Structure 1
Amino acid sequence: MQEVFDFLKKCQTYYLATVDGDQPRVRPFGTVNIFEGKLYIQTGKSKNVAQQMKANPKIEICAFNGQEWIRVQAVAVEDDRVEAKQSLLDSYPSLQSHYSATDANTLVLYLKDATATISSFAGEPKIIKF
């Protein structure tokens, strides 16, 4: 999991895919955090992406660092604890002007049953499960 975190953090931007009915939706994200041994992402509860993950929590993340790309398939699980929210917001101080660990909008989710595949044209893919 640490390798997945490091890859996403280094890329700075990754793309999160959800399902909206029968339509895939993809958008850029940048938040990633490790808290209590789990990999977390963050968004706002008022956003369409939050509603899509609530309806169908299966997601996929994709990022490219210039030489390798990663795809992470997982189930996004909401963690409504203040401590989980605060940990992520502490890692991204710029978000604290928009979100708070105690507001009704901040949503943090950890990735469950995750399979990450790191690929390149140079060799065999590396698979990481967490």
Structure 2
Amino acid sequence: MSRARRSQTGSLRSSCIKTGAPQRATSCVRIFTLFMYLNDVPEGGGGGTRFTDLKPEPITFMPSRGKAVLWPSVLADAPDTMDPRTHHEALPVWSGEKFGANFWIHQYDFRSAHASGCTMG
């Protein structure tokens, strides 16, 4: 499954993580997430993606055309539980626009689960 995103100057997207008890249906579980930047943002233009809960400190990826960030979305020893380290936020775009695309790899067939009302994926 994929989704395109556009962020304009001054736009702010809140932090993102799917939380809660183990997900309702294993077919809805996103096991990996890939985010790809589709354009360059001017230097100092913001628009980075910051992983806020990484230790010893958060890490920020700045947008650059063709750059991609891949992360596991679930715990290796509990593949139906979201990995809290994946909490991330899109930083504001201060100059220009940011275009990106999300790609999700699901554990099982997500289309049938989505058609049945599962919205976790």
Establish whether TM, by shorter chain, passes 0.5: no
The structure with the largest strand share of the pair is 1
Larger radius of gyration: 2
Q: RCO higher in 1 or 2 (8 Å CA, sep ≥ 6)?
A: 2
The structure with the largest helix share of the pair is 1
TM-score normalised over the length of structure 1: 0.27
TM-score normalised over the length of structure 2: 0.28
